[in-house]
Structure 1
Amino acid sequence: MADRAQPYREPPPAADALVRWPDRWGTRFLLTVDVEEEFDWGAPLDRAQRSTTAMRAFPDAHRRFADQGAPLTCLVDHPIATDPASVEVLREVLADGRSAIGAQLHAWVNPPFEEERRAGDSFPGALPETLEAAKLDRLTDAIAGAFGTPPRIYRAGRYGIGPNTRRLLRERGYLADSSVRAHYSYVGEGGPDFGAVGNHAYRVDGLLELPLTTVFTGRARAAGARLFGPLGMLPRGRGVAARSGLLSRVALTPEGMPLADALRAVDIAVGDGVRLLVFSFHSPSLAPGHTPYVRDAEDLRRFWAWWTAMFARLERLGVRAASLDEVLAAADQV
């Protein structure tokens, strides 16, 4: 088992590792969806929880995003890839000609099941290398079999990459990873630390890394990466800092991120020269009752209102949607 006393810490990329997007690229956004099973977010993870009923809402969601010109990068896990009904839904999504299928490894529902089921084992990168590789093989093969082509982009469940992950991905033909959640740390739970990583796409270990965009806002935002960790050690420190307008950490997702904060974060990211904004959400949020973010019909209404306002802001800023194919092609031109 990986040594939990030595968590994986992603170093900040060197300047020459940053992607230099072509001038004609402008500023774009990539919309990623963690397409996954439903489970109780407040309970211990259970490998028996593999229900995929929320996928019934996916076709309508896809139509809504397609109407905004936004293709979906669908990061599917093992319960989805092995469920015929979910696969059929996603095949229809792929028929739009711009959406893409990638992989997401939820270790606790992805065979083989050889781990000891300790807390940190939900982070696939914390597993022994041979077990992480075996789970990745089962997932990759399931996706390739279901959709007729292997996935090219990966996201570790719970953002849990480790020291072996990228080499394993490269050996299996993956081209990109989107496991890094900029400015977040999961060390306290046995996971990785991305506290030193910002929002710009970069190359590492032969892969294109597309961090999920997270922006510090507030009067102290310039020192956000340095201050946010220590604030978490103070009782209610981060909450007080956010309410006072001193410092907030805002990820580009409708899940738990107030609309006004997210709109401000987009303005800041664009102003800071981030050329690819990466949004995300979980597919079970498309139906009430499956995530803490969408508990009822009113939450679902707010979810879609968030996207309506966000797309209007992106259009006003001249930020266009990008497909995974477009991202990979543009990154290869530098």
Structure 2
Amino acid sequence: MAVSTSSAAGAPGYRVPPPAAADLVAWPESFGTRFTVLVDTEEEFDWDAPLDRDSHGVSAITALPEAHRHFVDRGVPLTYMVDYPIATDPQAIDILRAATADGVSAIGTQLHAWVNPPFDEALTPVNSFAGNLPESLEAAKLDALTAAITSAFGVAPRAYRAGRYGIGPATLGLLAARGYRLDSSMRPAYEYLAEGGPDFGAIGAGAFRAGPGGAIIELPLTIVFTGLARRGGVGLYRALGTIPKGKGIFARAHLLSRVALTPEEMPLADALEAIAVALGEGLRLLNFSFHSPSLAPGHTPYVRDAADLAAFHHWWDRVLADLERRGVAPASLDTIIAAAGERTNASP
């Protein structure tokens, strides 16, 4: 994947190019079929209000220890993708230090440009996608966040996610130059063009090598099309978007649904079907995610009350049991990076 070295701002609406077949990660047979959970560990804010630099808090982080135990008691390591307000809050740092003392969970990086210094850009929707910023400013924000995380946790982060999935043409080169090994900013089959964000229509769910010299392991979030017409994929799904209620009609008729592996706004039955489809199509690593403020009611649109929180945990109980039944084992960040580094002829 080509990486721009321009110091000018990335053009809004970056259409992320697909990987070459030779760049797809060939997982070694010893890796088996795995899953991982990356947590967008971030401040809470009003999702319905315009983004701003100051109207946020970090109180939801106090719900993290109980949730962490919920996973590690099942043998599931978590990778916490930490943004600047979390990485600079003493209580959040203490909580995450304790969580990652389990020896298998890890700290990664998540860049929310609008709350991450330096603040040299206008606060606009387009600039909330860090990849749209001038390369020098995107780099400066990444340096500030990487330094804060390294100082807080005593180790340099190796995994990255752009907030709002806001990757740009310079991002992977910036990551590689700073020693990052894995990026998970790509959300297959989604696009944010109307807001000036990227388009991932050409990206599939399989991991691939990207950036200069293939230095970065790109691990997209796992997005699966289900239904009788799923072979139509992103092309059919987007075409349905031009027809009034087209997507809803096809989803209710079990013809085509786009399912992300997250408990946030994705029904359990749909997620279980998506897991079955992904594994049936030979995907070797499933990438799950959720936002840390969803661990406490009232901070995200997905968990507004105690009933929603109970449903959130029930979703995970059922999904983890299904993965265990299918022989799909959890994988830590270290395990993924080590396995992807082994070049083999195994299937992706």
TM-score range, shorter chain: over 0.9
Per-residue deviation at 1:130?
Answer: 1.1
Does residue 1:288 correspond to 2:297, yes or no? yes
Show the counterpart of 1:160.
166
Percent identical across equivalent pairs? 62
Query: Counterparts of 1:328 and 1:312 in 2: how far apart (Å)?
Result: 25
Per-residue deviation at 1:182?
Answer: 1.3
Alignment TM-score, normalising by the size of structure 1: 0.98
Does residue 1:118 correspond to 2:127, yes or no? no
Per-residue deviation at 1:50?
Answer: 3.4
* Equivalent residues of 1:199, 1:212 under 8 A apart: yes
Letter in 2 for 1:35: T
Query: Counterparts of 2:69 and 2:300 in 1: how far apart (Å)?
Result: 22
SS in 1 for 2:17: coil
76-85 vs 175-184, which moves further: 175-184
**What is the alpha-carbon root mean square deviation over aligned residues?**
1.0
SS in 1 for 2:288: strand
Does residue 1:210 correspond to 2:216, yes or no? no
Per-residue deviation at 1:3?
Answer: 5.9
Show the counterpart of 1:252.
261
Q: Deviations over 1:171-192 (max 9, x none)?
A: 1110110000111111111111
* Equivalent residues of 1:37, 1:49 under 8 A apart: no
SS in 1 for 2:62: helix
Does residue 1:51 correspond to 2:51, yes or no? no
SS in 1 for 2:16: coil
Show the counterpart of 1:325.
334
Instruction: Map 1:1-334; keep pairs closer than 5 Å.
Output: 2=9, 4=11, 7-205=13-211, 206-334=215-343
Query: Counterparts of 1:10 and 1:277 in 2: how far apart (Å)?
Result: 21
Per-residue deviation at 1:165?
Answer: 0.3
Query: Counterparts of 1:12 and 1:3 in 2: how far apart (Å)?
Result: 18
Per-residue deviation at 1:114?
Answer: 1.1
In structure 1, stretches of 5+ residues that fail to align are none
SS in 1 for 2:26: coil
Letter in 1 for 2:227: G
Query: Counterparts of 1:79 and 1:237 in 2: how far apart (Å)?
Result: 40
Letter in 2 for 1:277: L
Per-residue deviation at 1:251?
Answer: 0.2
Query: Where in structure 1 do 4 or more consecutive aligned residues deviate above 2 Å?
Result: 1-4
Query: Counterparts of 1:49 and 1:323 in 2: how far apart (Å)?
Result: 34
Per-residue deviation at 1:221?
Answer: 0.2
* Equivalent residues of 1:50, 1:109 under 8 A apart: no
Per-residue deviation at 1:111?
Answer: 0.6
11-20 vs 301-310, which moves further: 11-20
Letter in 2 for 1:89: I
Per-residue deviation at 1:49?
Answer: 2.5
Letter in 2 for 1:219: L
Letter in 2 for 1:213: T
Letter in 1 for 2:9: A
Query: Counterparts of 2:243 and 2:123 in 1: how far apart (Å)?
Result: 31
* Equivalent residues of 2:263, 2:312 under 8 A apart: yes
Q: Deviations over 1:198-250 (max 9, x none)?
A: 11000011200000000000111011121111212222221121112111000
Q: Deviations over 1:60-108 (max 9, x none)?
A: 0000000111000000000000000000000011110000000000001
Letter in 2 for 1:185: E
* Equivalent residues of 2:303, 2:312 under 8 A apart: yes
SS in 2 for 1:96: coil
Show the counterpart of 2:346.
none
Per-residue deviation at 1:122?
Answer: 0.7
Query: Counterparts of 2:249 and 2:196 in 1: how far apart (Å)?
Result: 27
